[in-house]
Structure 1
Amino acid sequence: MADGLQWLPEPTPTWGADGTVRHLLPLRVGVDRAQGGEAASARAATSSPAPGRPGPPPHPATPGGRVTLPEPGGPGSSGSASLRRRGWDRVRVLVLDNYDSFTFNLVQYLGELGAEPVVIRNDALSPEQAAAEYRPGRLVISPGPGRPEDAGGSIDYIRAFGETVPTLGVCLGHQAIVAAYGGTVGAAPEPRHGKVSNITHDGRGVFAGLENPFTATRYHSLAAETLPDDLAAVAHSEDGVIQAVRHRTLPVTGVQFHPESIMTPEGKRLLANFLGEPAGS
């Protein structure tokens, strides 16, 4: 225990040789440890494949252009009835895992909300291959270590899917959205690892109906510095750091904080809003 937060063991996935999850048991929610350097070290340590686990194949070159997807399909899972909406049981969510221990808490929440999450490593498949194999109705870019340009195919996925598929980036995924559309990411004014902040937002999109401000957990040393015209800053922390961006014309949103944290009480409602967002044209 640290600062009243409980550290729960992360779920243990079994990875196929193609870099996709074959089994995921158990799913646990609430990975939080509010001790800056220790938390950051723990995240980095759990972000690499376990010894003996086959690594994913190299990421293929991805041509430009958007991905055209068939209708999503697949059965849903049981979830939080109070937040679920009709039709979510057919929402397949492709979760691009940036080798991070927090990914499967996002997966847990998405499953509880009635979606069908499918997890692949960030360098396992090209966007075109993933689109053909999984036909997702939503895309989530997970947290992870390092900088967005080092996050496997994250930026390629955002550019390829973002025109038609509602996309949510979390932490590193948020920074990858900023980079994908021409913004810059640099050192945050002060590193925040396992720290809770008040988040003030515009009340639209994924923030519709949420408390304003609400508290959220932050784990980041980098932050969005400049934004392109296509992106709007729609949430900030009390220290003035951009905590969310939204594309002005596409169904793409990034959040710097962690909605999957047990210390982000509005996190599941935010994800429910994301699942309900309409697709792009």
Structure 2
Amino acid sequence: MTSGLQQKNSILILDFGSQYTQLIARRVRENKVYSTIVSHKITAEEIKKQAPKGLIFSGGPASVYDEKSPKCDKGIFKLGIPILGICYGQQLIAQYFGGKVRRTREREFGRQELFIDDHADFFSGLPGNITCWMSHGDYVSSLPKGFVSIAHTLSTPNAAFASRDRKVFGVQFHPEVVHTARGSEIISNFLYRICRCRPSWEMGAFIKDTVSHIRQLVGKDSVVCGLSGGVDSSVAAVLIHRAIGRQLRCIFVDNGLVRNREPEEIKTIFRANLHMNLDFVNAQNRFLKRLKGVTDPEVKRKTIGDEFIKVFEEEAKKIRRVKYLAQGTLYPDVIESVSATGSPSAKIKTHHNVGGLPEKMNLKLIEPLRELFKDEVRELAKQLGLPQEIIHRQPFPGPGLAIRIVGEVTPERLQVLRDADDIFVGEIRKAGLYNEVWQSFCVLLCIKSVGVMGDERTYENVIALRCVSSSDGMTADWVKLEPALLGKVSSRIINEVKGVNRVVYDISSKPPSTIEWE
């Protein structure tokens, strides 16, 4: 769905299984160059037909000397297209051209000081040393003939190398993650100084192309959209509505797993303000009945996803000529559920709108945001004229509060979580932090603790507070909230929410943890 200009001015990212592959694509797009992720199995002939300006080889969990490690078509190196290899990608390049790759004594993971030895082109405009992010168990111990080292760390002599005649570069560190200082500038140098790209990727062109594609695809048929009220499904709905108007029917399913006042707010925004077709379905009893006794998080997700689709298929039968189901699936949803490219990336968890779909679904999928990141979706929302309360709404998981309850989901436990979450998010808003952080929410734990209230012993629930900062959801750091704010939230929850006598604060980052607990 990209324009001809963008297709001719694009970067292909070969996925070798890294969990950071989507971040590479995001960094490229931040520099206004369109990027697409393809399997490492793509042939040189296929790449030649697409005529990208450059190639980026992602990292990956394998070792290049393993028998079953992923390799690429060797013909790619003969195309004359600039290549940047990151981590595993760098090692693969070194091996192909005759260099040596060895295991490190100890796996290197975390921040390291990078010393830049050559400031021409690739490191142009950068200081002599920067902080970089390492995550590897192998390293390039001997450079191939014709390659030179252009940066090093105290433990990695060839942290970056170049073969300028071939326009081939490699880095052992990860410039795509936020932990690498000036990483976006490094990628920008590759795009503009090495690949000679032009800044042509922007949301206006995406809207035009996507609307045209949807209109052509749907024809005179109807589309149902699963509307949650979050920015993802809202943008998908408004984008599709712009393409086909009244042929779109939005359905909000109240599965009993939403927050306080959410159903009423959705009705107001989409019926009264945006004048869109919106059907409201009360399915609380159906979902809670199916979740009874379920404690495994993956089973929860799949159960909710399965029931979600069943409800939609039932509602869709009431709509004339409906053939499509629209969803607000994003890139991070896809990469954390399954490999979108057939690459050996590890599965983290199932998202209800990706891996939870039943195999025999009676509706065809439309996912117009499938290759976008959250920040791109927010920019899209602004250009589409969505209200601020939607644009800046914090991400909310598809399975709702079910995965913020560790253990069984019951009406009583849901209400405890809703009331606690109301207090926490409300105080975050009062402190002026809601739009500054990525997510802030409560988790109801599966344990109870002893407490004292009114001189009496209590044995009640524990609430965990989670507040993280992020730019895309792929990595995240916990937010250092003021002790006074945490104290106020804790006091209010314990005093105002019946059944809670202890509040804790989650100080783990992603990785190694995930943002959600389940």
TM category (shorter chain) comes to 0.5 to 0.7
* Uncovered stretches (5+) of structure 1, i.e. residues with no partner: 1-21, 24-72, 77-88
Asked if the contact 1:166/1:279 (under 8 Å) is kept, the reply is: yes
- Who is 1:129 aligned against? 46
CA pair 157-220 structure 1, distance change in 2 beyond 3 A = farther
Shift of 1:204: 1.8
Per-residue Cα deviation, 1:4-29 (whole angstroms, up to 9, x for no partner): xxxxxxxxxxxxxxxxxx99xxxxxx
Q: Is the aligned partner of 1:138 residue 2:29?
A: no
Residues in 2 aligned to 1:250 and 1:143: alpha-carbon distance in whole angstroms? 21
Give, in angstroms, the shift of residue 196 of structure 1.
0.5
CA deviation vs aligned residue, 1:177-227 (integer Å, no higher than 9, x gap) = 11111001011243112x111111111221111122000000000000111
Partner of residue 227 from structure 1, selected from 123, 127, 143 = 143
- Work out whether residues 233 and 242 of structure 1, in 8 Å CA contact, stay in contact via their aligned partners in 2: yes
Q: Matched residues in 2 for 1:235 and 1:74: separation?
A: 37
Higher normalized contact order (CA 8 Å, seq sep 6+, divided by chain length): 1
**2:88 corresponds to:** 172
1:92 and 2:30 equivalent? no
Alignment deviations for residues 51-92 of structure 1 (CA, whole Å, 9 cap, x no partner): xxxxxxxxxxxxxxxxxxxxxx8444xxxxxxxxxxxx9521
Matched, 1:111 2:29: yes
Shift of 1:140: 0.4
- What is the match of residue 169 of structure 2? 253
Identify the residue that residue 262 of structure 1 maps to in structure 2. Answer: 178
Aligned-partner SS, 2:132: strand
The answer to whether the Cα contact below 8 Å between 1:183 and 1:224 also exists between their aligned partners in 2 is yes
Structure 2, unpaired ranges of 5+: 197-518
1:183 aligned partner: 99
Distance in 2, Cα, partners of 1:255 & 1:158: 19
Matched, 1:200 2:115: yes
Asked whether the 8 Å contact 2:12–2:35 carries over to 1, the reply is yes
User: Against the structure 1 CA distance between its residues 154 and 210, is the aligned structure 2 distance closer, same or farther, given a 3 Å change threshold?
Assistant: farther
Identity of aligned residues (%): 25
Distance 1:277 1:171, change over 3 A: same
TM-score, L = length of structure 1: 0.63
- Structure 1 CA distance, aligned partners of 2:87 and 2:150? 15
Counterparts of residues 140-159 of structure 1 (less than 5 Å): 140-148=56-64, 150-154=68-72, 156=74, 158-159=76-77
Larger radius of gyration: 2
CA distance in structure 2 between the partners assigned to 1:224 and 1:116 by the alignment:
30
What CA RMSD, in Å, does the superposition of the two structures yield over aligned residues? Answer: 2.4
TM-score, normalized by length of structure 2? 0.35
Cα distance in structure 2, aligned partners of 1:212 and 1:151: 35
- Compared CA separation, residues 102 and 192, structure 1 to 2 (3 A): same
Instruction: Determine the C-alpha separation between the residues in 2 that align with 1:210 and 1:91.
Output: 25
